[in-house]
Chain A
């Protein structure tokens, strides 16, 4: 057995194993197929070998970053969730994937990253709290900007500026897309009968964040919640395939202990970082004062009475550090 492949993806939150739809898709697919992956849930894309998340580190093909390519790679390794599908069902998979990518995903990105209220109160809050210092100051904004740019290119500027048009056309289409999915799913357990396929991984990864996140502005969310079968579908996948990292932390002791431990571990880190930042600030101020000549150290000769004590204070500070 080859060494397990390593998957890097965004950390979990909101009751999900990973908050990022793309990471969630790969993770879910891997769970469906039972592929042996060593999953690293990281809190910053800088920890990933490719600089992007998700990323799969393989032995023979280097690092793969695109979700679709990761799934293709897993499929080549004989972890294929679509093995039982007929040719027509495979065709349907392709069609519904297109539907999701074209109609739902851009609106989903808008809901999470561009909608001012949701972004400030929910998305940025989570990322700013999760990403380690000092990246948390600019990474969420950089991501916001990247998503915004992408949507502007896909839709054109007039949609982004005209709130009403946006709501009327694009959100309506996204709601329609959700309704279509709900109709297609019907009362089945998965989209193609009783066993999950790659389409299920993708649909789940797009819907679950929308269902689980506590968005202040939840227009799309409300529509999803009104489609009972899709909600049940998401919760059942979550409880079947992610029994310990999705739901109640109390239900599984080891994982809960793990998270508690890491939280407790984070506290001293925080203290140390605070101390460090204060020291860096202080050093910068003193350095400036020293360089610009407000403070000077004179050895041998006795300086003016006013300056002497300041210089001595500085020396003391440096000793402390």
Chain B
């Protein structure tokens, strides 16, 4: 199943505000630049944070910057800017939002909270790493997609230098966690294993923990939706996810609930707007 909504690029250009129950904070939400530049893994992480903030009913304003990576305190996108505070990545953002009194996981008991954290690590450990592997360690993808996209905002020779620098960094990291020796098949096998686990856990429930969405749902949605809607050199990766019908239905459900209604008056969908053209 392909999510049928195709967002126009115009919505990215529009800066819009989503007004919700209490307009207390404005979350300036940064992610990596324009549709030409963003990569699979950054897109997934950005979408996850966006989904989380949407689920919390918080007003956000999406800002795209080519240098978002260098603006972020941890060097990773996305990050949010509230008042004079800057917080990056989903984990710290969840904590930050919780400190402000918005939490999705309050209704869970302790065991469920432990399980939620564990599954979030599973997604980070397997899906995110697999995305990074695919875009920086698979030679064809690197050559045809990653380098042109990553270097797009910069003039020659800076684009080459920055791309190679990033590639070198990611590959060293892969070596440290023992992924460097893996083949593409093994990585896809890992993705399949991870999806199988998620699918088993989800079962027939609407969300991972009963009726209410949690940050785990936001994270899973961010990654799976991005994988499903992104065109890569081959569609092996998305095929793996499509094998699990409850996961695709889950993505569709969250998309309808949290993104479709706001589409007209918000640019909160910026991440998806670039979807169709994403990675070629």
Contacts and interface: CB of A to CB of B under 8 A. Distances in A.
B126 A98 contact: yes
A102 interface: yes
Interface stretch (B112-120, B135-143, B268-276): B112-120
A94 B194 contact: yes
A183 B113 CA distance: 9
A95 B197 contact: yes
A95 B178 contact: no
B124 A98 contact: yes
Contacts of B200: 87-88, 90-91
Contacts of A103: 121
Contact of A154 (B115, B118, B176, B203): B176
Contacts of A190: none
Given A88-B201, A90-B200, A184-B115, A95 B121 contact: yes
B173 A92 contact: no
Contacts of A181: 114
B1 interface: no
B75 interface: yes
Contacts of B113: 180, 183
Interface string B46-75: 000000000000000000000000000001
A156 B118 CA distance: 23
Nearest to A186: B111
Given A91-B198, A92-B201, A184 B173 contact: no
A38 interface: no
Interface residues of A, number: 26
B243 interface: no
A165 B114 CA distance: 24
A177 B120 CA distance: 12
B176 A96 contact: no
Interface in A96-133: 96, 98-99, 101-103
Nearest to B176: A153
Contacts of A149: 176
A150 interface: yes
Given A98-B122, A98-B124, A183 B201 contact: no
A180 B125 contact: no
B110 interface: yes
A177 B197 CA distance: 20
Nearest to A96: B118
A9 to B, nearest CB: 18
Given A90-B197, A156-B75, A95 B119 contact: yes
Interface string B171-210: 0110111100000000000000110111011010000000
Q: Which of A88, A91, A154, A180 has the most CB of B within 10 A?
A: A91
A66 interface: yes
Interface of B: 75, 110-111, 113-115, 117-119, 121-122, 124-126, 172-173, 175-178, 193-194, 196-198, 200-201, 203
Interface of A: 66, 87-88, 90-92, 94-96, 98-99, 101-103, 149-150, 153-154, 156, 176-177, 180-181, 183-184, 186
